[in-house]
Structure 1
Amino acid sequence: MFGDYSLGDLGSIFAMQGFAGLILFSVYVLMALGLAIIFGQMGVINMAHGEFMILGAYMTWLCSEFFAAYLPSLFGIYFFVAMALAFVASGSLGMLVEWALIKRLYKRPLDTLLATWGLSLILQQAYRSIFGPREVGVNLPDWMLGSLQVTDSIEVPINGLLVMALTILITIAVYLLIFRSRWGQQVRAVVQNRVMAGAVGIDTEKVDRLTFGLGCGIAGIAGSAFTMIGSTGPTSGQLYIVDTFLVVVFGGAASLFGTIASAFTISQTQSTLEFFLSGSMAKVITLLAVVAILMLRPQGLFTLKVRR
């Protein structure tokens, strides 16, 4: 596989594929952050998480079409508006789903898995009826196209750098929100002891709803990033839900740092292997490697120390 390349060529290939995997890494991080909040903090297995991501992708596409048709002079900033709208739309739908469905299924993980799987099928059909069965793609502003020339053989995509910078900012914001804010203290209190948290005056139902909405809203932002690496269709979310669960489990369900490290490891491994092998073989090898590591360390790469 590597015999036809010199050491210099291999270094350039690894660097190029690493930079090319920036957007995939950003999608994995944002998807896994939302899923880790919902699964790690609430114990809910959300099989419809990919559809919340695709809602964000469709909002980005609609925003692109609207700015191109009615506000062409502001087309250069539409992506930032689209990310905000994607967060609001996916988060609002998430809170509605939590109120109407999820709150009746807490502490019943198999029931939440089946219910959210059914929800994913409903959302797929809704997208197909509203937006049509064909896949759609967004047009990027001119300043987001192209790449930066680092060396003669290494180029860095501009949109990849932008999305990764936004991902870092969002990750920091989530960390501050969960671990450095009063609301984050309430979330962790509800996770540790729901009855005692309610006894001291915390509105546990409100905390659950906002937590689920936050996780779904972050998935919507991941959908905005997704539009840069693939076209958006009603079933596109299912292509990423397995990889996202893999990222969360591999990193450690309750570890924010583990989620980031896991997303980086899996995305870069997959991106590099795809250059030398087919996309399906890259996924198979990545999956086998992760399974082998989990057999040795079933709790994931990083775990939180808690009292039992």
Structure 2
Amino acid sequence: MQVFDVIPPLAPTLRPAAPIVLALGFFDGVHRGHQEVLRRARAEADARGAQLGVMTFDVHPAVIYQHVPADSVKYLSTRARKTELMAQFGVDLLYFVHFTPRFAALDPQTFVDEYLVGLNAAVVVAGFDYTYGKQAVANMATLPTYARGRFDCITVPAALRDGSKISSTHVRSALDAGDVDLANQLLGYAYETTGTVVHGEARGRTLGYPTANIETPNAERLPAIGIYTVALQVDGRWVPGMASVGRNVTFGAGRPVTLEINLFDFHQDIYGRSVRVRWLHYLRGEVRFTGAAGLVAQLAQDEAQSRAYLKELTR
């Protein structure tokens, strides 16, 4: 897969030589709804013997349209993760358009002329709710008018779960509630975050449950405070364990939120390593214990439940 940065205006050198099928969307999380768009676009590209391109953006549109501070946005998929997922779903050409104020100010016709026609689209595929300007006049229903016969338009209906539309907002809400099980069902895969193993307070070791303390990039969205069954990827190997997202309230008030992972049957020194966390199952909320003994007893129960869940997962 080839990846391109598009800094407006679109450079003529980025125009593919042959017509392509072009899928549109921000694709945060590349969830099951997004996957339907990509599958439909891939099928169309295969039928035409064409490459599949995706046009997405470098930042969430809210950064420009709603003046949300760029460093406050928590993504389901950072650029690196989105790129990885796009490759998995058969994308050939991935265009990250830099969502500048100039780009945001384009009227619908100019957007279509400069970017969709400019990228040599023979077919444009997007979800039913995709917009490219003011929603009332720049939606998939009006796209054929702006296309002026230069490309075909395919609108993909909503993907549903229990009668509700699968959306990035739905996934975020699930994660913010700690419901990683639901988030994973909506995504169609296990949610992942990244980070670096850093030194913590080393209290877990004294309790018999040593932890890897993970410093997570600011742009990534962690699940809510709670205890989870997870897997941690170290040097290409996935190691099962249990994670705590919380403030260690047993040991004092006003503590910062940290991510600590106790790995099962793993004893290597991994300080400073870059790792990935795969979020598998919610166990419970954070509890303040009156002493270390109560916490240790609960950790033993958490480990038993996690091992039982992982055993079922591999059947």
More strand by share: 2
- Larger RCO (alpha carbons 8 Å, 6+ apart): 1
More helix by share: 1
TM superposition score normalised by structure 1 = 0.22
Higher-Rg structure is: 2
